[in-house]
Amino acid sequence: MTQQDAGRASLDGVDAESASAFAAEPDGYARLWTPHRMAYIESHHVQESTDECPFCRAPGLPDDQALIVARGEHAYVVLNLYPYNSGHLLVCPVRHVALYDEATEAEAVEIAALTQTAMRVLRSTLRCDGFNIGMNQGRIAGAGIAGHLHQHVVPRWSADANFMPIIAGTKAMPRLLGDVREELARAWPSASGQ
């Protein structure tokens, strides 16, 4: 048996690779390999809607209906309708622009400022322990709505990850979107205080 063969284990007929068989530094993570997810990824499940862009439509709606937490001159903050965690925010330019390098300087500056304020508000209200912040640029990079730039601000807690999303395809959300939006909007500093 080769070292590579020794690094493979069979799990109900599916080979799972052990990192110990490859040249690498151990990182302490146990990994649950989910190759069945490739069918989902490769199915191009994200389809651009033929309807109006939801990030263009949202600013024209009342804040509570659109889940908007705060508005700036060039950008706004909205709760993600399909959050990874409670308080998952999106910072979007008002203008329909797809890529970060297409944003104007004023848009980029306001997106950055709103992101910083979002972090402060999330820490003070939801008492999160950390954040995932990022932008998926283009459909191939995972942007669900590739036509309109948006930055994710995902609050994280030490106990927020478990087996449910991988095993059961289910994410347990402990708070309702409307309640979270109301709490964050109340805590958001006034435009003069940003």
**75 and 119 fall within a common domain:** yes
Residues 77 and 173 in one domain: yes
Domain span at 129:
54-193
Q: What is the pLDDT of residue 6?
A: 43
CB atoms within 10 A of CB 121: 24
Instruction: Determine the pLDDT at residue 159.
Output: 75
Q: 26 lies in a domain?
A: yes
132 and 180 part of one domain: yes
The number of distinct structural domains making up the chain is: 2
Interacting residues of 131 by C-beta distance below 8 A, sequence separation 6+: 119, 122, 153, 154, 155, 156
Asked if 67 and 129 sit in the same domain, the reply is yes
What is the pLDDT at residue 36? 63
Statement to judge: residues 27 and 72 lie in one domain: no
Residues 178 and 94 in one domain: yes
- 64 plus 12 within the same structural domain: no
Please confirm, yes or no, whether 150 is among the known catalytic residues: yes
The one catalytic residue in 74, 88, 150, 152 is: 150
> In a structure prediction context, what are the per-residue pLDDT tens digits for the chain, which is 194 residues long?
444 444 444 444 444 555 566 666 666 666 656 666 666 556 554 444 446 899 999 999 999 999 999 999 999 999 998 888 889 999 999 999 999 999 999 999 999 999 999 999 999 999 999 999 999 998 888 888 899 999 999 999 887 776 655 566 666 666 788 889 999 999 999 854 44
